[in-house]
Amino acid sequence: MIDGYEDMTVLVTGANRGLGAAFADALVGLGAKKVYGAARDPETVRAPGVTPVRLDVTDRRRIADLAQELSDVTMVINNAGIHQRASVFDDTVVDVVESVMRTNLVGTLAVSAAFAPRLIENGGGIIANMLSAGSWLAGPGNLAYAVSKAAALSLTNNLRAELSPRGVQVTAIHAGFIDTDMMASFPGPKLSPREVAEAALSAIAAGAQEVLIDEMSRRAKAASAQPVPAFAGLTTAG
């Protein structure tokens, strides 16, 4: 648990737009000591008070270099992520899943592993992973994203098991549909990035290691604990 963000130096990945930009801007508003906004093109990080840094979370060499450069970081928000539609019937399904996993899972692991020693050296800190209600949900076309977020949830739980005894809080953040470029084609109600960022940061400051932002996330988690139904036999799609 922390008193506030005034003493925190924070790295936010994918900070040039959408939820990442909202996290960075909210942290500045909360008086964070310093906020590094990471993006592949740092010139696209334009939020006032945010220090842009170049980072592609699939570039392990750059991640390692950045962990050396930003030795003052006490909090990491792993927000960078991608979504690509995929079905088991697609010829490209394996390639798509590999691509999404490289960013959403391996990228989160690589950044966390590189910065965990820094957080410990700086007296402990926080790793917050932006996951999804999709960590527990399955649906047509959502194979790659759902698999990556379910795996990232397991990663988060394992990071917590290793890092909590060393003074590092590891928080999983879950939300349903958020009004970002990723969900631009979704016509239904969506959460604003700012409300997600503010709710998550408030919960993290209170010591929460799991944040269920909305009812969709709460229902998805509850449903995941229900028994798998018995196979009903052959069905015809379409």
Tell whether the model's pLDDT for residue 170 goes beyond 70: yes
pLDDT band at 204 (very low <50, low <70, confident <90, very high): very high
Which of 5, 36, 115, 145 is flagged as catalytic? 145
Contact by Cβ (8 Å): 130, 172:
no
Q: 């631009």: which residue's tokens?
A: 184
State how far the Cα of 157 lies from the Cα of 78, in Å rounded to an integer.
Answer: 14
Active-site annotation holds for 5: no
State how far the Cα of 172 lies from the Cα of 146, in Å rounded to an integer.
Answer: 15
Tell whether the model's pLDDT for residue 188 goes beyond 90: no
What would the mean pLDDT of 160-186 be, rounded to a whole number? 87
Main-chain dihedrals φ then ψ at residue 73, nearest 5 degrees:
-65, 135
State how far the Cα of 145 lies from the Cα of 99, in Å rounded to an integer.
Answer: 10
Q: How many residues does the chain have?
A: 238
Question: Is the full-model pTM beyond 0.75?
Answer: yes
Mean pLDDT of the chain: 94
Which range is least confidently modeled, 46-60, 114-128, 221-235?
Answer: 221-235
Distances (CA, A) of 192 to 19, 167, 179: 8, 32, 5
Residue 164 tokens read as: 């909590």
Per-residue pLDDT, 171 = 98
Written as one letter, the residue type at 28 is: V
pLDDT > 70 fraction of the chain, expressed in percent and rounded: 94
Domain ranges of the chain: 9-223
Helices assigned H by DSSP within the chain: 18-29, 60-69, 93-101, 108-121, 143-163, 193-205, 215-224
What is the architecture of the domain spanning 9-223? 3-Layer(aba) Sandwich (3.40)
Distances (CA, A) of 94 to 88, 89, 135, 143: 8, 10, 19, 10
